[in-house]
Structure 1
Amino acid sequence: MTSTRPAPTPFDHRMAVYGADDEFVAAALPFLAEGLGAPGEPPPVAIAAPDKLDLLRDALGGDARDIVLIPHTDWYTGSAANAVAQGAGYLGAHAGPGGRIHLLMEPVWNGRAGRSARETTEWIRYEALANLLFAPLATTALCAYDTRTAGTAIIEAARRAHPDTPAYEDPVRLTAELDSAPLPLPPADAEPHTHLSADAVRRGAVARGLGPADAELFTEAVTAAVAALGPVTGALLWGEAPACVCELRTSRRVDDPLAGFVPPSTPELAPDQGLWFTRQVCAYVDVRDDGAGTTVRLQYG
Protein backbone atom coordinates (compact mmCIF):
# COMPACT_ATOMS: atom_id res chain seq x y z
CA MET A 1 0.00 0.00 0.00
CA THR A 2 1.38 3.38 -0.98
CA SER A 3 2.10 5.82 1.82
CA THR A 4 0.13 9.05 1.75
CA ARG A 5 1.63 12.18 3.21
CA PRO A 6 -0.84 14.23 5.24
CA ALA A 7 -2.22 17.56 4.19
CA PRO A 8 -0.99 20.23 6.61
CA THR A 9 -3.27 20.77 9.60
CA PRO A 10 -2.82 22.60 12.89
CA PHE A 11 -2.85 19.26 14.74
CA ASP A 12 0.72 18.02 15.19
CA HIS A 13 0.56 14.26 15.84
CA ARG A 14 3.95 12.69 16.55
CA MET A 15 5.27 9.30 17.63
CA ALA A 16 8.24 8.36 19.84
CA VAL A 17 9.52 4.80 20.09
CA TYR A 18 11.95 3.77 22.84
CA GLY A 19 13.14 0.66 24.63
CA ALA A 20 14.76 1.98 27.81
CA ASP A 21 13.97 4.46 30.57
CA ASP A 22 16.73 6.85 29.54
CA GLU A 23 15.39 6.84 25.97
CA PHE A 24 11.95 7.77 27.27
CA VAL A 25 13.39 10.70 29.22
CA ALA A 26 15.48 11.76 26.22
CA ALA A 27 12.34 11.91 24.06
CA ALA A 28 10.09 13.49 26.68
CA LEU A 29 12.24 16.35 27.97
CA PRO A 30 12.69 18.24 24.68
CA PHE A 31 9.00 17.84 23.91
CA LEU A 32 7.93 19.20 27.29
CA ALA A 33 10.47 22.02 27.00
CA GLU A 34 8.97 22.88 23.61
CA GLY A 35 5.57 23.14 25.26
CA LEU A 36 6.90 25.28 28.08
CA GLY A 37 8.44 27.65 25.57
CA ALA A 38 5.38 27.94 23.31
CA PRO A 39 3.87 31.44 23.66
CA GLY A 40 0.31 31.50 24.89
CA GLU A 41 0.14 27.83 25.81
CA PRO A 42 -0.95 26.38 29.16
CA PRO A 43 1.44 23.99 30.94
CA PRO A 44 2.28 20.87 28.93
CA VAL A 45 0.85 17.55 30.07
CA ALA A 46 2.56 14.19 30.52
CA ILE A 47 0.20 11.21 30.61
CA ALA A 48 2.23 8.09 31.36
CA ALA A 49 2.76 5.12 33.66
CA PRO A 50 3.48 6.14 37.27
CA ASP A 51 7.09 4.93 37.06
CA LYS A 52 7.63 7.07 33.96
CA LEU A 53 6.19 10.08 35.75
CA ASP A 54 8.68 9.48 38.57
CA LEU A 55 11.48 9.49 35.99
CA LEU A 56 10.25 12.82 34.68
CA ARG A 57 10.03 14.35 38.15
CA ASP A 58 13.64 13.35 38.85
CA ALA A 59 14.86 14.64 35.48
CA LEU A 60 12.90 17.89 35.61
CA GLY A 61 13.77 18.82 39.15
CA GLY A 62 12.16 22.14 40.05
CA ASP A 63 10.69 22.45 36.56
CA ALA A 64 8.34 19.55 37.34
CA ARG A 65 5.99 22.01 39.03
CA ASP A 66 5.36 23.57 35.61
CA ILE A 67 4.24 20.26 34.05
CA VAL A 68 0.86 18.56 34.56
CA LEU A 69 1.55 14.89 35.36
CA ILE A 70 -1.34 12.43 34.96
CA PRO A 71 -1.13 8.64 35.52
CA HIS A 72 -2.21 6.99 32.30
CA THR A 73 -4.65 4.73 34.13
CA ASP A 74 -6.61 7.89 34.96
CA TRP A 75 -6.77 8.87 31.29
CA TYR A 76 -7.19 5.62 29.34
CA THR A 77 -10.15 4.13 31.15
CA GLY A 78 -11.96 2.12 28.48
CA SER A 79 -12.60 2.02 24.76
CA ALA A 80 -11.11 4.06 21.93
CA ALA A 81 -14.23 6.21 21.96
CA ASN A 82 -13.70 6.86 25.68
CA ALA A 83 -10.16 8.05 24.87
CA VAL A 84 -11.57 10.47 22.29
CA ALA A 85 -14.01 11.83 24.87
CA GLN A 86 -11.25 12.21 27.47
CA GLY A 87 -9.02 14.09 25.03
CA ALA A 88 -11.80 16.34 23.75
CA GLY A 89 -12.95 17.12 27.29
CA TYR A 90 -9.45 17.99 28.48
CA LEU A 91 -8.75 20.22 25.50
CA GLY A 92 -12.06 22.00 25.95
CA ALA A 93 -11.33 22.69 29.61
CA HIS A 94 -7.58 23.35 29.63
CA ALA A 95 -6.13 24.07 26.17
CA GLY A 96 -5.20 27.53 25.01
CA PRO A 97 -6.86 29.38 22.10
CA GLY A 98 -7.39 27.10 19.13
CA GLY A 99 -6.58 24.03 21.22
CA ARG A 100 -2.96 24.99 21.82
CA ILE A 101 -1.29 22.60 24.28
CA HIS A 102 1.43 19.93 24.30
CA LEU A 103 0.36 16.42 25.34
CA LEU A 104 2.81 13.57 25.95
CA MET A 105 0.68 10.42 25.87
CA GLU A 106 1.60 6.84 26.81
CA PRO A 107 -1.23 4.26 26.52
CA VAL A 108 -1.86 1.51 29.04
CA TRP A 109 -0.46 -1.51 27.24
CA ASN A 110 -1.14 -3.99 30.04
CA GLY A 111 -4.78 -2.93 30.09
CA ARG A 112 -7.28 -2.93 27.20
CA ALA A 113 -4.99 -1.52 24.50
CA GLY A 114 -2.73 -4.20 23.05
CA ARG A 115 -4.32 -7.03 25.01
CA SER A 116 -5.52 -8.81 21.86
CA ALA A 117 -5.64 -8.40 18.10
CA ARG A 118 -9.08 -6.87 18.46
CA GLU A 119 -7.87 -4.36 21.05
CA THR A 120 -4.93 -3.47 18.82
CA THR A 121 -7.35 -2.78 15.97
CA GLU A 122 -9.43 -0.53 18.22
CA TRP A 123 -6.35 1.37 19.33
CA ILE A 124 -4.98 1.90 15.81
CA ARG A 125 -8.43 3.11 14.74
CA TYR A 126 -8.28 5.69 17.53
CA GLU A 127 -4.80 6.82 16.52
CA ALA A 128 -5.84 7.11 12.86
CA LEU A 129 -9.10 8.94 13.54
CA ALA A 130 -7.33 11.40 15.86
CA ASN A 131 -5.79 12.89 12.72
CA LEU A 132 -9.29 13.76 11.51
CA LEU A 133 -11.04 14.51 14.79
CA PHE A 134 -8.42 16.94 16.09
CA ALA A 135 -7.28 18.28 12.70
CA PRO A 136 -8.70 21.81 13.30
CA LEU A 137 -6.90 22.17 16.65
CA ALA A 138 -3.40 23.52 17.21
CA THR A 139 -2.67 20.69 19.63
CA THR A 140 0.72 19.00 19.68
CA ALA A 141 0.65 15.34 20.75
CA LEU A 142 3.58 12.98 21.20
CA CYS A 143 2.44 9.35 21.49
CA ALA A 144 5.00 7.31 23.44
CA TYR A 145 5.49 3.64 22.50
CA ASP A 146 7.65 1.46 24.76
CA THR A 147 8.99 -1.58 22.88
CA ARG A 148 9.20 -3.45 26.19
CA THR A 149 5.43 -3.41 26.64
CA ALA A 150 3.75 -2.39 23.39
CA GLY A 151 5.25 -5.05 21.14
CA THR A 152 6.48 -4.93 17.56
CA ALA A 153 3.12 -5.53 15.85
CA ILE A 154 1.42 -2.67 17.69
CA ILE A 155 4.27 -0.27 17.04
CA GLU A 156 4.47 -1.07 13.34
CA ALA A 157 0.70 -0.61 13.03
CA ALA A 158 0.87 2.65 14.98
CA ARG A 159 3.45 4.06 12.58
CA ARG A 160 0.76 3.97 9.91
CA ALA A 161 -1.36 6.35 12.01
CA HIS A 162 1.29 9.01 12.73
CA PRO A 163 2.04 11.65 10.10
CA ASP A 164 5.68 12.05 11.16
CA THR A 165 6.59 8.49 10.09
CA PRO A 166 7.36 7.20 6.55
CA ALA A 167 4.71 4.49 7.02
CA TYR A 168 1.83 6.96 7.49
CA GLU A 169 -1.43 6.09 5.72
CA ASP A 170 -4.46 8.22 4.97
CA PRO A 171 -6.76 7.78 8.02
CA VAL A 172 -9.86 7.03 5.97
CA ARG A 173 -8.01 4.36 3.99
CA LEU A 174 -6.50 2.86 7.13
CA THR A 175 -9.80 2.64 9.02
CA ALA A 176 -11.47 1.15 5.95
CA GLU A 177 -8.79 -1.53 5.93
CA LEU A 178 -9.35 -2.22 9.62
CA ASP A 179 -13.09 -2.54 9.00
CA SER A 180 -12.68 -4.82 6.00
CA ALA A 181 -12.14 -7.87 8.21
CA PRO A 182 -15.40 -9.83 8.42
CA LEU A 183 -17.07 -10.12 11.79
CA PRO A 184 -17.27 -13.57 13.40
CA LEU A 185 -20.56 -15.28 12.63
CA PRO A 186 -23.26 -14.95 15.31
CA PRO A 187 -23.74 -18.09 17.40
CA ALA A 188 -26.42 -20.57 16.39
CA ASP A 189 -28.46 -19.73 19.48
CA ALA A 190 -28.59 -15.96 18.79
CA GLU A 191 -32.09 -14.67 19.43
CA PRO A 192 -33.62 -13.06 16.29
CA HIS A 193 -35.90 -10.01 16.37
CA THR A 194 -37.76 -8.64 13.36
CA HIS A 195 -39.10 -5.66 15.29
CA LEU A 196 -36.69 -4.89 18.12
CA SER A 197 -38.16 -3.06 21.10
CA ALA A 198 -36.46 -1.56 24.13
CA ASP A 199 -38.33 -4.02 26.34
CA ALA A 200 -36.98 -6.95 24.31
CA VAL A 201 -33.41 -5.69 24.67
CA ARG A 202 -33.87 -5.13 28.39
CA ARG A 203 -35.36 -8.58 28.97
CA GLY A 204 -32.67 -10.20 26.86
CA ALA A 205 -29.89 -8.41 28.71
CA VAL A 206 -31.26 -9.43 32.10
CA ALA A 207 -31.73 -13.02 30.92
CA ARG A 208 -28.07 -13.04 29.86
CA GLY A 209 -26.89 -11.99 33.31
CA LEU A 210 -26.67 -8.19 33.29
CA GLY A 211 -27.86 -6.51 36.47
CA PRO A 212 -30.77 -4.04 36.23
CA ALA A 213 -28.60 -0.91 35.96
CA ASP A 214 -26.30 -2.40 33.31
CA ALA A 215 -29.24 -3.86 31.43
CA GLU A 216 -30.87 -0.44 31.33
CA LEU A 217 -27.67 1.23 30.12
CA PHE A 218 -27.18 -1.41 27.42
CA THR A 219 -30.81 -0.94 26.36
CA GLU A 220 -30.26 2.83 26.08
CA ALA A 221 -27.13 2.23 24.01
CA VAL A 222 -29.00 -0.06 21.60
CA THR A 223 -31.95 2.34 21.41
CA ALA A 224 -29.60 5.24 20.65
CA ALA A 225 -28.00 3.25 17.84
CA VAL A 226 -31.39 2.33 16.38
CA ALA A 227 -32.42 5.99 16.42
CA ALA A 228 -29.20 7.00 14.67
CA LEU A 229 -29.35 4.26 12.05
CA GLY A 230 -32.96 4.69 11.03
CA PRO A 231 -35.25 1.73 10.29
CA VAL A 232 -33.70 -1.54 11.45
CA THR A 233 -34.60 -4.50 9.26
CA GLY A 234 -33.47 -7.15 11.72
CA ALA A 235 -31.64 -7.73 14.98
CA LEU A 236 -29.96 -10.49 16.96
CA LEU A 237 -29.24 -10.80 20.69
CA TRP A 238 -26.69 -13.17 22.24
CA GLY A 239 -23.87 -13.52 24.75
CA GLU A 240 -23.46 -13.69 28.51
CA ALA A 241 -22.78 -10.87 30.95
CA PRO A 242 -20.84 -8.73 30.73
CA ALA A 243 -20.34 -9.45 27.01
CA CYS A 244 -23.96 -9.08 25.92
CA VAL A 245 -24.22 -8.45 22.18
CA CYS A 246 -26.87 -6.88 19.98
CA GLU A 247 -26.43 -6.89 16.21
CA LEU A 248 -28.50 -4.51 14.11
CA ARG A 249 -29.07 -4.62 10.38
CA THR A 250 -30.19 -1.57 8.41
CA SER A 251 -30.59 -0.82 4.72
CA ARG A 252 -28.94 2.55 5.31
CA ARG A 253 -25.25 2.84 4.43
CA VAL A 254 -22.95 4.02 7.22
CA ASP A 255 -19.69 4.72 5.42
CA ASP A 256 -18.44 7.62 7.54
CA PRO A 257 -15.41 6.42 9.56
CA LEU A 258 -16.13 9.13 12.15
CA ALA A 259 -19.69 7.96 12.85
CA GLY A 260 -20.11 8.02 16.62
CA PHE A 261 -16.65 9.46 17.27
CA VAL A 262 -17.34 13.19 16.87
CA PRO A 263 -17.90 14.72 20.33
CA PRO A 264 -21.26 16.45 20.76
CA SER A 265 -21.53 20.14 21.56
CA THR A 266 -22.64 19.42 25.13
CA PRO A 267 -20.44 17.46 27.56
CA GLU A 268 -23.33 15.68 29.28
CA LEU A 269 -23.75 12.10 28.07
CA ALA A 270 -27.29 11.44 26.87
CA PRO A 271 -28.99 8.75 24.74
CA ASP A 272 -30.15 11.33 22.19
CA GLN A 273 -26.50 11.70 21.11
CA GLY A 274 -26.92 8.60 18.94
CA LEU A 275 -23.86 6.55 18.08
CA TRP A 276 -21.66 8.78 20.25
CA PHE A 277 -23.63 7.63 23.28
CA THR A 278 -23.51 4.03 22.05
CA ARG A 279 -19.74 4.10 21.62
CA GLN A 280 -19.23 5.66 25.05
CA VAL A 281 -21.32 2.95 26.74
CA CYS A 282 -20.26 -0.17 24.82
CA ALA A 283 -16.85 -1.81 24.89
CA TYR A 284 -17.08 -2.45 21.14
CA VAL A 285 -19.13 -1.02 18.30
CA ASP A 286 -18.31 -2.74 15.01
CA VAL A 287 -19.68 -1.22 11.82
CA ARG A 288 -19.61 -3.12 8.53
CA ASP A 289 -20.95 -1.43 5.41
CA ASP A 290 -21.40 -3.88 2.53
CA GLY A 291 -22.86 -1.62 -0.14
CA ALA A 292 -26.39 -2.93 0.31
CA GLY A 293 -26.68 -1.80 3.91
CA THR A 294 -24.89 -1.86 7.22
CA THR A 295 -24.42 -4.30 10.09
CA VAL A 296 -23.72 -2.71 13.48
CA ARG A 297 -22.66 -5.02 16.30
CA LEU A 298 -22.71 -3.69 19.88
CA GLN A 299 -20.98 -5.48 22.74
CA TYR A 300 -21.58 -4.13 26.22
CA GLY A 301 -18.57 -5.43 28.13
Structure 2
Amino acid sequence: MQLFFHTFNLQLKHTFTIAHDSRDVQPTLIVELREENLSGFGEATSNKYYGITIEGMKEALEKVKPLVESYTWGTPEALWEEVKPYLETNPFAHCALDEAAHDLFAKQQGKKLYECWGLRPEANPLTDYTIGIDSVDNMVAKMREFPWPLYKIKLGTTDDLRIVRELRRHTTALFRVDANCAWTANQTIRYAPELKALGVEFIEQPLSAADQEGMQRVFAESTLPVIADESCIVEADVARCHGLFHGVNIKLTKCGGLTPARRMITEAKALGMKTMVGCMNESSVGISAIAHLLPLLDYVDMDGTLLISNDPAVGVTFDAGRVLYANENGTGAQLALPVP
Protein backbone atom coordinates (compact mmCIF):
# COMPACT_ATOMS: atom_id res chain seq x y z
CA MET A 1 0.00 0.00 0.00
CA GLN A 2 1.21 3.52 -0.82
CA LEU A 3 0.32 6.82 0.81
CA PHE A 4 0.21 10.04 -1.23
CA PHE A 5 -0.65 13.67 -0.42
CA HIS A 6 -2.34 16.19 -2.73
CA THR A 7 -2.84 19.83 -1.75
CA PHE A 8 -5.28 22.30 -3.28
CA ASN A 9 -6.51 25.83 -2.62
CA LEU A 10 -10.29 25.77 -2.83
CA GLN A 11 -11.68 29.06 -4.12
CA LEU A 12 -14.89 30.09 -2.37
CA LYS A 13 -17.58 31.56 -4.62
CA HIS A 14 -18.20 34.30 -2.05
CA THR A 15 -16.22 35.53 0.94
CA PHE A 16 -17.29 33.18 3.72
CA THR A 17 -17.77 34.95 7.04
CA ILE A 18 -18.83 33.54 10.39
CA ALA A 19 -18.63 35.03 13.88
CA HIS A 20 -14.91 34.31 14.33
CA ASP A 21 -13.49 33.96 10.82
CA SER A 22 -13.62 35.21 7.23
CA ARG A 23 -11.97 33.67 4.16
CA ASP A 24 -11.95 33.60 0.36
CA VAL A 25 -9.66 30.58 -0.10
CA GLN A 26 -9.70 27.29 1.78
CA PRO A 27 -6.49 25.21 1.65
CA THR A 28 -7.15 21.48 1.75
CA LEU A 29 -5.18 18.25 1.94
CA ILE A 30 -6.38 15.17 0.07
CA VAL A 31 -4.86 11.87 1.16
CA GLU A 32 -4.67 8.93 -1.24
CA LEU A 33 -4.19 5.31 -0.17
CA ARG A 34 -3.26 3.22 -3.20
CA GLU A 35 -3.14 -0.56 -3.36
CA GLU A 36 -2.70 -2.30 -6.73
CA ASN A 37 -5.22 -0.65 -9.09
CA LEU A 38 -7.48 0.90 -6.42
CA SER A 39 -7.20 4.23 -4.62
CA GLY A 40 -9.06 5.48 -1.59
CA PHE A 41 -9.35 9.22 -0.93
CA GLY A 42 -9.80 11.24 2.25
CA GLU A 43 -9.61 14.93 3.06
CA ALA A 44 -9.10 17.54 5.75
CA THR A 45 -8.92 21.31 5.42
CA SER A 46 -6.63 23.70 7.27
CA ASN A 47 -8.28 25.59 10.11
CA LYS A 48 -6.94 28.70 11.88
CA TYR A 49 -9.44 28.41 14.74
CA TYR A 50 -8.07 24.97 15.70
CA GLY A 51 -4.46 25.70 14.72
CA ILE A 52 -4.43 23.19 11.86
CA THR A 53 -2.16 23.79 8.85
CA ILE A 54 -1.55 21.81 5.68
CA GLU A 55 2.13 21.40 6.55
CA GLY A 56 1.27 20.25 10.05
CA MET A 57 -1.05 17.57 8.70
CA LYS A 58 1.53 16.37 6.17
CA GLU A 59 4.22 16.22 8.85
CA ALA A 60 1.95 14.17 11.11
CA LEU A 61 1.10 11.76 8.31
CA GLU A 62 4.73 11.44 7.20
CA LYS A 63 5.51 10.05 10.66
CA VAL A 64 2.99 7.22 10.23
CA LYS A 65 3.69 6.64 6.53
CA PRO A 66 6.05 3.66 7.09
CA LEU A 67 3.51 2.06 9.42
CA VAL A 68 0.62 2.63 7.02
CA GLU A 69 2.47 1.42 3.94
CA SER A 70 3.57 -1.79 5.67
CA TYR A 71 0.20 -2.35 7.34
CA THR A 72 -1.43 -5.75 6.86
CA TRP A 73 -4.85 -4.72 5.69
CA GLY A 74 -7.70 -5.55 8.02
CA THR A 75 -10.41 -2.94 8.53
CA PRO A 76 -10.37 0.86 8.50
CA GLU A 77 -11.25 0.81 12.18
CA ALA A 78 -8.20 -1.33 12.96
CA LEU A 79 -5.94 1.07 11.05
CA TRP A 80 -7.48 4.02 12.90
CA GLU A 81 -6.56 2.41 16.23
CA GLU A 82 -3.09 1.47 14.97
CA VAL A 83 -2.15 5.08 14.15
CA LYS A 84 -4.08 6.69 17.01
CA PRO A 85 -1.05 7.07 19.34
CA TYR A 86 0.75 9.06 16.64
CA LEU A 87 -2.14 11.24 15.40
CA GLU A 88 -4.04 12.06 18.59
CA THR A 89 -2.76 15.65 18.49
CA ASN A 90 -3.82 16.12 14.85
CA PRO A 91 -7.35 14.76 14.39
CA PHE A 92 -7.66 16.51 11.02
CA ALA A 93 -4.81 14.40 9.62
CA HIS A 94 -6.30 11.33 11.30
CA CYS A 95 -9.62 12.10 9.59
CA ALA A 96 -8.12 12.35 6.10
CA LEU A 97 -6.36 9.01 6.52
CA ASP A 98 -9.45 7.34 8.00
CA GLU A 99 -11.69 8.52 5.15
CA ALA A 100 -9.18 7.22 2.61
CA ALA A 101 -9.03 3.86 4.38
CA HIS A 102 -12.83 3.52 4.40
CA ASP A 103 -13.00 4.47 0.72
CA LEU A 104 -10.34 1.95 -0.27
CA PHE A 105 -11.79 -0.81 1.93
CA ALA A 106 -15.28 -0.43 0.41
CA LYS A 107 -13.84 -0.41 -3.11
CA GLN A 108 -11.99 -3.64 -2.32
CA GLN A 109 -15.31 -5.14 -1.22
CA GLY A 110 -16.96 -3.98 -4.43
CA LYS A 111 -19.56 -2.00 -2.47
CA LYS A 112 -20.60 1.52 -1.65
CA LEU A 113 -19.47 2.46 1.84
CA TYR A 114 -22.99 2.67 3.28
CA GLU A 115 -23.60 -0.86 1.98
CA CYS A 116 -20.55 -2.10 3.91
CA TRP A 117 -22.19 -0.65 7.02
CA GLY A 118 -25.56 -2.29 6.27
CA LEU A 119 -27.33 1.05 5.87
CA ARG A 120 -30.16 2.08 3.55
CA PRO A 121 -30.36 5.63 2.15
CA GLU A 122 -34.07 5.91 1.36
CA ALA A 123 -34.90 8.30 4.22
CA ASN A 124 -31.76 10.45 4.13
CA PRO A 125 -32.14 14.01 5.46
CA LEU A 126 -31.73 17.00 3.12
CA THR A 127 -28.62 19.12 3.39
CA ASP A 128 -28.87 22.82 4.14
CA TYR A 129 -27.08 25.56 2.18
CA THR A 130 -25.10 28.06 4.25
CA ILE A 131 -25.50 31.83 3.98
CA GLY A 132 -22.46 33.47 5.60
CA ILE A 133 -22.53 36.79 7.43
CA ASP A 134 -22.73 39.72 5.02
CA SER A 135 -24.87 42.76 4.33
CA VAL A 136 -28.55 41.84 4.22
CA ASP A 137 -28.70 42.71 0.53
CA ASN A 138 -25.82 40.36 -0.23
CA MET A 139 -27.33 37.59 1.89
CA VAL A 140 -30.60 37.92 0.00
CA ALA A 141 -28.68 37.89 -3.30
CA LYS A 142 -26.98 34.64 -2.28
CA MET A 143 -30.35 33.02 -1.61
CA ARG A 144 -31.67 34.19 -4.97
CA GLU A 145 -28.54 32.87 -6.66
CA PHE A 146 -29.05 29.49 -5.00
CA PRO A 147 -32.73 28.64 -4.40
CA TRP A 148 -32.81 25.89 -1.78
CA PRO A 149 -35.42 24.37 0.56
CA LEU A 150 -33.24 24.70 3.67
CA TYR A 151 -30.77 27.43 4.64
CA LYS A 152 -28.30 27.68 7.49
CA ILE A 153 -27.94 31.35 8.41
CA LYS A 154 -24.66 32.37 10.03
CA LEU A 155 -25.23 34.96 12.76
CA GLY A 156 -23.20 36.69 15.46
CA THR A 157 -23.70 40.37 14.64
CA THR A 158 -25.33 43.23 16.52
CA ASP A 159 -28.37 42.97 14.26
CA ASP A 160 -29.16 39.26 14.09
CA LEU A 161 -32.95 39.37 14.46
CA ARG A 162 -33.29 41.99 11.74
CA ILE A 163 -31.20 39.84 9.42
CA VAL A 164 -33.49 36.84 9.86
CA ARG A 165 -36.62 39.01 9.50
CA GLU A 166 -35.36 40.43 6.22
CA LEU A 167 -34.27 37.06 4.83
CA ARG A 168 -37.67 35.59 5.69
CA ARG A 169 -39.33 38.16 3.43
CA HIS A 170 -37.62 36.57 0.41
CA THR A 171 -38.11 32.83 0.89
CA THR A 172 -40.40 30.21 2.41
CA ALA A 173 -37.44 27.84 2.99
CA LEU A 174 -36.80 26.37 6.41
CA PHE A 175 -34.07 28.19 8.36
CA ARG A 176 -31.43 27.05 10.81
CA VAL A 177 -29.26 29.62 12.58
CA ASP A 178 -25.68 29.25 13.76
CA ALA A 179 -24.23 31.86 16.12
CA ASN A 180 -20.78 30.19 16.40
CA CYS A 181 -20.47 31.01 20.13
CA ALA A 182 -21.32 34.71 19.68
CA TRP A 183 -24.41 35.05 21.92
CA THR A 184 -25.09 35.11 25.64
CA ALA A 185 -27.65 32.94 27.41
CA ASN A 186 -29.97 35.94 27.82
CA GLN A 187 -29.77 36.76 24.11
CA THR A 188 -30.46 33.19 23.08
CA ILE A 189 -33.48 32.82 25.35
CA ARG A 190 -34.80 36.21 24.24
CA TYR A 191 -34.25 35.59 20.52
CA ALA A 192 -35.66 32.07 20.43
CA PRO A 193 -39.43 32.82 20.36
CA GLU A 194 -39.14 35.26 17.46
CA LEU A 195 -36.75 32.99 15.57
CA LYS A 196 -39.22 30.15 15.98
CA ALA A 197 -42.00 32.37 14.63
CA LEU A 198 -39.76 33.20 11.66
CA GLY A 199 -39.48 29.53 10.68
CA VAL A 200 -36.17 28.64 12.35
CA GLU A 201 -35.79 24.93 13.11
CA PHE A 202 -32.97 25.10 15.68
CA ILE A 203 -30.10 27.20 17.00
CA GLU A 204 -26.56 25.88 16.62
CA GLN A 205 -23.91 26.64 19.26
CA PRO A 206 -25.21 29.97 20.59
CA LEU A 207 -22.76 30.23 23.53
CA SER A 208 -19.06 29.75 24.09
CA ALA A 209 -18.15 26.13 24.71
CA ALA A 210 -16.86 27.20 28.13
CA ASP A 211 -20.22 28.60 29.27
CA GLN A 212 -21.83 25.44 30.64
CA GLU A 213 -23.85 27.33 33.24
CA GLY A 214 -25.33 29.50 30.51
CA MET A 215 -26.12 26.45 28.39
CA GLN A 216 -28.00 24.87 31.29
CA ARG A 217 -30.29 27.92 31.31
CA VAL A 218 -30.66 27.89 27.53
CA PHE A 219 -31.43 24.17 27.47
CA ALA A 220 -34.12 24.63 30.12
CA GLU A 221 -35.67 27.86 28.81
CA SER A 222 -35.15 28.13 25.04
CA THR A 223 -38.26 27.68 22.90
CA LEU A 224 -36.04 26.28 20.13
CA PRO A 225 -33.77 23.21 20.27
CA VAL A 226 -30.06 23.90 20.56
CA ILE A 227 -27.40 21.86 18.76
CA ALA A 228 -23.76 21.62 19.91
CA ASP A 229 -20.89 22.30 17.51
CA GLU A 230 -17.83 23.86 19.17
CA SER A 231 -18.92 22.08 22.38
CA CYS A 232 -18.79 18.68 20.69
CA ILE A 233 -15.36 17.93 19.23
CA VAL A 234 -14.29 14.46 20.37
CA GLU A 235 -16.07 11.34 21.58
CA ALA A 236 -15.98 12.26 25.27
CA ASP A 237 -17.86 15.48 24.49
CA VAL A 238 -21.09 13.69 23.55
CA ALA A 239 -21.82 12.73 27.15
CA ARG A 240 -20.80 16.22 28.31
CA CYS A 241 -23.36 17.76 25.94
CA HIS A 242 -26.19 15.64 27.32
CA GLY A 243 -28.48 17.90 29.35
CA LEU A 244 -26.99 21.03 27.77
CA PHE A 245 -27.99 20.52 24.12
CA HIS A 246 -30.77 18.71 22.31
CA GLY A 247 -28.37 17.37 19.69
CA VAL A 248 -24.77 17.32 18.50
CA ASN A 249 -23.18 18.43 15.23
CA ILE A 250 -20.20 16.15 14.60
CA LYS A 251 -17.39 17.31 12.31
CA LEU A 252 -15.30 14.46 10.90
CA THR A 253 -12.15 16.57 10.82
CA LYS A 254 -12.45 17.57 14.47
CA CYS A 255 -13.18 14.13 15.87
CA GLY A 256 -10.70 12.21 13.70
CA GLY A 257 -12.77 10.70 10.91
CA LEU A 258 -15.60 8.31 10.13
CA THR A 259 -14.53 5.73 12.71
CA PRO A 260 -15.08 7.89 15.83
CA ALA A 261 -17.98 9.76 14.20
CA ARG A 262 -20.02 6.56 13.94
CA ARG A 263 -19.39 5.83 17.62
CA MET A 264 -20.41 9.39 18.54
CA ILE A 265 -23.64 9.06 16.57
CA THR A 266 -24.45 5.79 18.32
CA GLU A 267 -23.81 7.31 21.75
CA ALA A 268 -25.86 10.43 21.02
CA LYS A 269 -28.80 8.34 19.86
CA ALA A 270 -28.57 6.20 23.00
CA LEU A 271 -28.79 9.41 25.07
CA GLY A 272 -31.88 10.53 23.16
CA MET A 273 -30.09 13.34 21.34
CA LYS A 274 -30.47 14.42 17.73
CA THR A 275 -27.57 13.69 15.41
CA MET A 276 -26.03 15.95 12.78
CA VAL A 277 -22.81 15.99 10.77
CA GLY A 278 -21.32 19.21 9.43
CA CYS A 279 -18.59 20.08 6.97
CA MET A 280 -15.61 22.42 6.76
CA ASN A 281 -15.80 23.65 3.14
CA GLU A 282 -14.22 20.42 1.87
CA SER A 283 -14.12 19.32 -1.75
CA SER A 284 -16.12 16.38 -3.11
CA VAL A 285 -13.72 14.00 -1.35
CA GLY A 286 -14.69 15.00 2.18
CA ILE A 287 -18.31 15.72 1.31
CA SER A 288 -18.73 12.29 -0.31
CA ALA A 289 -17.44 10.64 2.86
CA ILE A 290 -20.05 12.47 4.94
CA ALA A 291 -22.80 11.27 2.59
CA HIS A 292 -22.48 7.67 3.72
CA LEU A 293 -23.43 8.62 7.29
CA LEU A 294 -26.72 10.14 6.15
CA PRO A 295 -28.93 7.15 7.01
CA LEU A 296 -27.84 7.57 10.66
CA LEU A 297 -28.56 11.32 10.88
CA ASP A 298 -31.42 13.66 11.71
CA TYR A 299 -29.75 16.70 10.12
CA VAL A 300 -26.79 17.36 7.85
CA ASP A 301 -24.77 20.35 6.69
CA MET A 302 -22.68 19.10 3.74
CA ASP A 303 -22.78 22.02 1.33
CA GLY A 304 -19.00 22.49 1.07
CA THR A 305 -18.78 21.69 -2.63
CA LEU A 306 -21.65 24.06 -3.38
CA LEU A 307 -19.66 26.94 -1.89
CA ILE A 308 -16.47 26.48 -3.96
CA SER A 309 -15.76 27.18 -7.64
CA ASN A 310 -12.80 24.86 -8.34
CA ASP A 311 -13.65 21.45 -6.90
CA PRO A 312 -10.64 19.20 -7.64
CA ALA A 313 -12.74 16.05 -7.30
CA VAL A 314 -16.06 14.51 -8.25
CA GLY A 315 -18.40 12.51 -6.07
CA VAL A 316 -21.87 13.03 -4.65
CA THR A 317 -24.12 15.63 -6.27
CA PHE A 318 -27.24 17.46 -5.11
CA ASP A 319 -30.80 18.03 -6.23
CA ALA A 320 -32.54 20.73 -4.17
CA GLY A 321 -31.05 19.48 -0.92
CA ARG A 322 -31.25 15.78 -1.77
CA VAL A 323 -27.91 13.99 -1.93
CA LEU A 324 -27.29 11.82 -5.00
CA TYR A 325 -24.62 9.14 -4.62
CA ALA A 326 -22.06 8.66 -7.37
CA ASN A 327 -22.30 5.49 -9.41
CA GLU A 328 -19.03 4.26 -7.92
CA ASN A 329 -18.02 2.00 -5.07
CA GLY A 330 -16.44 3.31 -1.89
CA THR A 331 -17.41 6.87 -1.05
CA GLY A 332 -17.73 7.64 -4.77
CA ALA A 333 -15.00 10.30 -4.72
CA GLN A 334 -12.36 10.55 -7.44
CA LEU A 335 -9.81 13.26 -8.21
CA ALA A 336 -10.83 15.22 -11.30
CA LEU A 337 -7.99 17.75 -11.59
CA PRO A 338 -4.33 16.89 -12.25
CA VAL A 339 -2.72 16.21 -8.88
CA PRO A 340 -0.04 18.66 -7.67
Normalised by the length of structure 1, the TM-score is 0.32
Structure 2 length normalisation: TM-score?
0.29
